[in-house]
Amino acid sequence: SQQGEEDPQALSIQEGENATMNCSYKTSINNLQWYRQNSGRGLVHLILIRSNEREKHSGRLRVTLDTSKKSSSLLITASRAADTASYFCATDANGDYKLSFGAGTTVTVRA
Amino acid sequence: GAGVSQSPSNKVTEKGKDVELRCDPISGHTALYWYRQRLGQGLEFLIYFQGNSAPDKSGLPSDRFSAERTGESVSTLTIQRTQQEDSAVYLCASSLVVGGTHEQYFGPGTRLTVT
C-alpha cells in the first residue's frame, strides 16, 4: 500500500518560477527521501531528510519535514526546463527497508 | 563509477510466456530491491535481498513471480506464464545500508509489455 501521497498530482510553471510539492504519510518514519523520474524510467535520488531534521538544502532544492503533521515539502527554486519530471517522496516506515512511494507529482516547466 | 544496470531495456512478450529480467547492482552494494511501476503510478515493492540473509519476498504479487540473487551480485526476476496485468516497468535498485538508512540507487528499468 502507498504510504506517501504527493500533492498536487500535476504542476505547470514558467521557467524561473519556483515549484512546491507536498508529501503526506501515515506512519512513523526513520527518514524520507525525494526522487525524480524522467520519462517513466529510472529514478534519481535527490535528497534524504532524517526524522530528526526539519529542513535540508541541496543546490536549488529545499526540503522540509514536519513529523508532527506527517508531511514534507519539496521546493525547487528558479526552475529550468530540465526540471520537467515526476517527483516522488518515499518513506521507510519505522526504518523498514521497504520504501513506500506515492503516485508522484508531475512537474512541467514551460520555456 | 558504474550505476545500476538492467536488461533488457524493453521486452515484448506474448501472454503465457515466461520472461527473465536482469539487474546488475552497483559493486559493493549489499542490498538489492525490485519494484514494479504501472503506468502513472508509484512504485510497488516486490522483493528485497540483503547479503546472505533470506530475501523478503512479501511484495511478490503471485507465485508466478520469483527472484534470485547470486551473492551480492546479479539478480534475476522471473515472471512465469505472463499475463497482461504484468505489463509495467520493473525497476531494480541497490544500496549500502548505513546506520539503518537505505539510500537507493535505481537502474533505468525494464519496460515489459505483455500482448
Asked if pLDDT for residue A51 goes beyond 80, the answer is yes
- Compute the average pLDDT of residues B49-53: 86
Interface test with B, best of A1, A3, A99 (most B CBs within 10 A): A99
Q: Is A77 exposed, middle or buried (0-12, 13-18, 19+ CB in 10 A)?
A: middle
Interchain contact, B102 vs A42, CB within 8 Å: no
Interchain contact, B106 vs A43, CB within 8 Å: yes
Domain count, chain B: 1
Any B CB within 8 A of A1 CB: no
Residue of B39, B100, B104 lying closest to A99 (CB–CB): B104
Q: Is A50 exposed, middle or buried (0-12, 13-18, 19+ CB in 10 A)?
A: middle
- The parent domain of residue B29 ranges over 5-104
| CATH label of the domain that carries residue B54 | 2.60.40.10
Any B CB within 8 A of A30 CB: yes
Domain membership flag for residue B109: no
Neighbours of A95 (CB within 10 A): 14
Q: Average model confidence (pLDDT) for chain A?
A: 90
DSSP SS3 for A49: strand
Give percent above pLDDT 70 in chain A: 93
Output the pLDDT for position B102.
72
Q: DSSP readout, B43-104?
A: EEEEEEEETTSPPB-TT--STTEEEEE-TTS-EEEEE-S--GGG-EEEEEEEE--BTTB---
- Cell numbers linked to A58: 541541496
Domain membership flag for residue B110: no
pLDDT digits (tens, 9 = 90+) for B5-15: 999 999 999 99
Determine contact, residues B45/B35, Cβ cutoff 8 Å. yes
Determine contact, residues A37/A104, Cβ cutoff 8 Å. yes
Q: Where are the domains of chain A?
A: 5-93+101-110
Domain membership flag for residue B55: yes
| Residues in chain A closer than 8 A to B45 (CB atoms) | 98-100
Sign of CA dihedral A29, A38, B110, B26: negative
- Compute the average pLDDT of residues A65-86: 96
| Residues in chain B closer than 8 A to A92 (CB atoms) | 102
Give percent above pLDDT 70 in chain B: 96
Any B CB within 8 A of A75 CB: no
Q: Is A74 exposed, middle or buried (0-12, 13-18, 19+ CB in 10 A)?
A: buried
Query: How far is C-alpha A75 from the geometric centre of its chain's CA atoms?
Result: 8
Name the residue in chain A with its Cα closest to that of B97: A97
- Compute the average pLDDT of residues A66-92: 95
* Strands A55-58 and A61-66, sheet pairing: antiparallel
Domain membership flag for residue B49: yes
β-strand partners of A88: A35
Where does A5-93+101-110 sit in CATH, by number?
Answer: 2.60.40.10
